[in-house]
Structure 1
Amino acid sequence: MLKSVDVSDALHASTQLIETEGRTLAYRSVGEGIPVVLCTRFRATLDDWDPGFLDALAGHGFRVITFDYSGFGRSTGRMSYNPAEMAADPLDLIRGLGLKDVVLGGWSIGGMAAQVAMVQAPDLIRALVLIGTTPPGELVKMAEPLFYELAGKEVNDFEDVVGLFFQPRSEASRAAAARSQARIEARMEAMPDDRSPPVPIEFARARIAGGPANPAFPAPQVLEALKTTRVPILHIGGDHDIIFPVENWYALNGLLPTTTLVTYPAAGHGPQHQHPELSAAIIAGFVGDH
């Protein structure tokens, strides 16, 4: 049953700090209930989640926890975009906060980190929720060069956001992009003194300097684990994801016994920002069934 949530919860959630394994992790928490720990996308910090999505999840009885990766935002430690290293952050945060039976989520590169974390500590994970990410292994469809052009710009304007995370040819998707950006900007305006520093552009550019790669996520041990795991896995994607095409998930039909795929039409790399309430409801239903 959907709970009543103050629409300003995610707008005003203050950043908290926890010392774990020799570094400080910055995180925010919204709601109460089943813990959901969300690993964010490339070049993102705590400030880049859509508050509408976080509040919608909280409304379904989740405690929603977002965080800055080591070395990024307000977290300390060594910066890395290697999913094998990034996986330590959600796991150390889960253990540091004393969480159990966790729904682990990951968007984009965060989905790669979440997959590695699930393989490393399946006993901590109730379900894995992946958003706009890629499976391990060889791809049947590669990323579009447009992603690398837009993701490497120092500052992204609204049209860049639409191109990166939505479907530019769809008026409905464009309208959703405007609403999502307004919610994200409202958080920044509401909490101007509680913001995370942006990811250094030089570091980000170095990560994507090689352009599209196949495989994008070379992790054979993770792919084998996905084929045998008992952890329920949900992937939510858009039908035109310019970096991680959903076709690569569908190519594995019949091989991943616990994986459910949900794909929105006329949507891109940020499906949960285009459809925040529906995505939260799907996640809640999926977790509730498992």
Structure 2
Amino acid sequence: MNIRSRNNITVAGRVDGPVLLLAHGFGCDQNMWRLVLPTLAENYRVVLFDYVGSGRSAPAAWDEERYSSLEGYALDVLEVCEELDLRDVTFVGHSVSAMIGVLAAAQAPSRFSRMVMVAPSPRYIDEDGYRGGFTADDIDELLESLESNYLGWSAAMAPVIMGNADRPELGQELTTSFCATDPDMARVFARTTFLSDSRADLKTLSVPTLVLECRQDVIAPREVGAYVHAAIPGSRLVTLEATGHCPQLSAPEATAAAITDFVGTTG
């Protein structure tokens, strides 16, 4: 299957600009980047795509075994890079996509020059000496609720994930995005996401890395941002004056500015 149509690849911005590859998180698609896109497109060649099983990707390409591990999503990233022959890429990954980017960079280090992690979490479940934000029982309950009533779970959880209760339209947008995802595919991606443990993979990352966290985030609390920053030598940690788990929607100007400041405009 043609990768461009399989992953609904779109390209915007400067043809000769440094390449930004924007990767969405669970329950989302490339539309989540639309508020930062105009600013980023002024200086960069911006490549967007949907993981198989999300957005306007090709449903026929879905394979449960492949997408039951983060490596399957990393393969999507690498195949998009190969299809467009992308080099010197700055990978911008939101939420679980930050860890997917780490795996992709480990498999094809020559393609990636920088990494931007937006609200990342390498492990959602608390353990001794590590706070991920959820107990094991929390995650079991979350997955059980999602699997038994995905639409109901989406309506209840999306506003919590988004935060910004004073801006309910943001929570509604995330709810709509979640509900547009095929429930069977979403269940697999959810288990892959919330049961993952990518902490050991962080040490494989050797490119300059920006960790963007929000001042308040129920999915990736600030202890997680500090952990990721400490685990990646030489990384930069920036705390956005934003709440919720999706700063590209709730604080697009600050998010775009932080990316531009880190990457620069000349490659």
Q: Which of the five TM-score ranges fits, normalised by the shorter chain?
A: 0.7 to 0.9
| Structure 1 pair 201–20 and aligned structure 2 pair: CA distance change class (3 A) | closer
User: What residue in structure 2 maps to residue 56 of structure 1?
Assistant: 39
Cα offset for 1:165? 1.7
Counterpart check, 1:260 vs 2:236: yes
Within-5 A mapping of 1:240-279: 240-251=216-227, 254-279=230-255
2:161 equivalent among 140, 150, 164: 164
Within-5 A mapping of 1:78-97: 78-79=62-63, 80-97=67-84
| Structure 1 pair 287–211 and aligned structure 2 pair: CA distance change class (3 A) | closer
User: What residue in structure 2 maps to residue 132 of structure 1?
Assistant: 119
2:52 equivalent among 53, 70, 78: 70
Q: Take 1:251 and 1:209, find their aligned partners in 2: how far apart are those partners? A: 22
TM-score with structure 2 setting the length: 0.76
User: What residue in structure 1 maps to residue 203 of structure 2?
Assistant: 224
Q: Gaps (5+ residues) in structure 1?
A: 1-17, 189-196
Cα offset for 1:31? 1.0
SS of equivalent to 1:26: coil
CA contact (8 A) 2:218 2:245 kept: yes
| Matched AA of 1:165 | M
SS of equivalent to 1:36: strand
Within-5 A mapping of 1:173-188: 174=167, 177=170, 181=173
- Aligned pair count reads 247
Q: Take 1:74 and 1:266, find their aligned partners in 2: how far apart are those partners? A: 30
Within-5 A mapping of 1:113-132: 113-132=100-119
Within-5 A mapping of 1:20-31: 20=3, 24-31=6-13
CA contact (8 A) 2:122 2:198 kept: no
Identity rate, percent? 24
Cα offset for 1:207? 4.7
Q: Which is further off, 76-85 or 98-107?
A: 76-85
Q: Take 2:24 and 2:256, find their aligned partners in 1: how far apart are those partners? A: 16
Cα offset for 1:250? 0.8
- Residues 248-273 of structure 1: CA distance to partner in whole angstroms, max 9, x if unpaired? 23135544222111122451110121
Cα offset for 1:24? 2.9
| Matched AA of 1:256 | I
CA contact (8 A) 2:202 2:231 kept: no
Cα offset for 1:20? 4.2
Q: Take 1:212 and 1:117, find their aligned partners in 2: how far apart are those partners? A: 19
Q: Gaps (5+ residues) in structure 2?
A: none
Q: Take 2:37 and 2:87, find their aligned partners in 1: how far apart are those partners? A: 20
RMSD over aligned CA atoms reads 3.6
| Matched AA of 1:223 | L
- Residues 35-72 of structure 1: CA distance to partner in whole angstroms, max 9, x if unpaired? 111111112223x414211112112x112211111344
| Structure 1 pair 161–55 and aligned structure 2 pair: CA distance change class (3 A) | farther
Cα offset for 1:122? 1.6
- Residues 192-222 of structure 1: CA distance to partner in whole angstroms, max 9, x if unpaired? xxxxx93211332355469965xx42452x1
Report which of the two has the higher share of helix: 2
TM-score with structure 1 setting the length: 0.71
| Structure 1 pair 266–104 and aligned structure 2 pair: CA distance change class (3 A) | closer
- Residues 209-239 of structure 1: CA distance to partner in whole angstroms, max 9, x if unpaired? 69965xx42452x13213xx1x011111213
User: What residue in structure 2 maps to residue 199 of structure 1?
Assistant: 181
CA contact (8 A) 1:84 1:113 kept: yes
